[in-house]
Copies of this chain bind each other. A is one copy, B any other.
């Protein structure tokens, strides 16, 4: 057997299932996580741009030095269009970041690959949907609650899986 073939990720994954490199892109679950993490991060950055667009459109800023950016603008708080995007953004901070951290821990705990990829895909997609029905096209409830709850439950599932795996190291 040639040693050099072992160092290529695919070879090591296929011929050596014992060599478990969970946090490595040769692990399809981790690669799947990386893809959805990137999509969610891009989505969160869009929220900043959405806020900026609302501020420029409504000419409402929160710092005196920003008034140079647009004529006839003012410093004011509590505008409904700006605040809706900001609430959606804050909801992302409260849910997407814990989901991303927890999913990383879940991948590191070595779950079943097929289950893990499905869990990551559903959890991340639900958050993309959540932003759509909250900040882009406000849809009547319970659309937002369903999207919100899906990711919440998946994050719980991941946390409980990791706890069961590693609780003896507490």
- Distance in Å from the Cβ of A55 to the closest Cβ of chain B? 12
Q: Given the known A-B contacts A30-B108, A155-B41, A169-B32, are A95 and B18 also in contact in the complex, defined by CB atoms under 8 Å? A: no
B1 close to A35 (CB less than 8 A): no
B3 close to A95 (CB less than 8 A): no
Query: Which of A12, A87, A101, A165 is most buried by chain B, counting CB atoms within 10 A of its CB?
Result: A101
Q: Which of B4, B93, B105 contacts A3 (CB 8 A)?
A: B4
- When C-beta atoms are compared, the residue in chain B nearest to A23 turns out to be B23
Tell whether A16 is near chain B: CB-to-CB under 8 Å.
yes
B16 close to A98 (CB less than 8 A): no
Integer count of this chain's copies in the complex = 3
Note all chain B residues with C-beta closer than 8 A to A68: 140-141
Q: Which of B38, B89, B167 contacts A159 (CB 8 A)?
A: B38
Q: How far is the CA of A45 from the CA of B98 in the complex (A)?
A: 8
Q: Which of B10, B19, B97, B170 contacts A8 (CB 8 A)?
A: B19
B95 close to A97 (CB less than 8 A): no
Note all chain B residues with C-beta closer than 8 A to A77: 78
B24 close to A22 (CB less than 8 A): yes
- Distance in Å from the Cβ of A150 to the closest Cβ of chain B? 13
B38 close to A102 (CB less than 8 A): yes
Known contacts A9-B19, A34-B169, then 19 further A-B pairs from the complex at CB < 8 Å, ordered by chain A residue: A6-B16, A7-B16, A9-B20, A22-B24, A22-B25, A23-B108, A32-B169, A35-B167, A37-B105, A38-B105, A38-B160, A39-B159, A39-B163, A41-B98, A44-B94, A48-B94, A68-B141, A69-B145, A117-B169
